[in-house]
Amino acid sequence: MSKIEDFLTAKQEQALIETIKISEKNTSGEIRVHIEKSTEKSSMDRALEVFYLLEMDKTELRNGILIYVAVESKKIAIIGDEGINNLVPKNFWDEELAMLISYFKESNFTEGLQLVIIEIGKKLKQFFPYQKNDSNELSDEISKG
């Protein structure tokens, strides 16, 4: 797989954006997906860097979640902001990460991302339930690096 465009078609990207919108109806948490070609850094280090580049730490409740994917490097990470991390167990995202890895191994990228996005919304509901006055603080668009 040589290009980010080969990883997701425009239609698949739109499906992911719709999944984010649906998932965010469960939670006030803000979910983003970032896809880039490669990184030399560890998946967590690069995900954290992207998290701050996308200003995901600027949400009112500090409840942003980033799903990071480096296509060629085959690196993925899921990180949450401090508002989430202060409330959840240290291994909170392990199940979702394992699910994502299993789908990616089968080249089911879109399906894996969609399932994980839905699961994240469900899990966050108990800590950050959707509020009727909730505003979408972060873009639902897939960012690319």
Percentage of residues of the chain with pLDDT beyond 90: 73
d(CA 94, CA 134): 27
What rounded mean pLDDT belongs to the chain?
91
Q: For the residues of 5-51, what is the DSSP string, one character each? A: HHHS-HHHHHHHHHHHHHHTTTBS-EEEEEEES--SS-HHHHHHHHH
Instruction: Summarize the confidence of residues 134-140 as an average pLDDT.
Output: 81
Tokens read off for 19: 């999944």
- pLDDT confidence of residue 8: 87
- pLDDT confidence of residue 3: 58
The string of pLDDT tens digits covering residues 10-58 is 999 999 999 999 999 989 999 999 999 999 999 999 999 999 999 999 9
Domain 4-126: give its CATH architecture. Answer: Roll (3.10)
DSSP state of 88: S
- The ranges assigned to domains in the chain are 4-126
The residues that bridge with 143 in the sheet, in sequence order, are 34
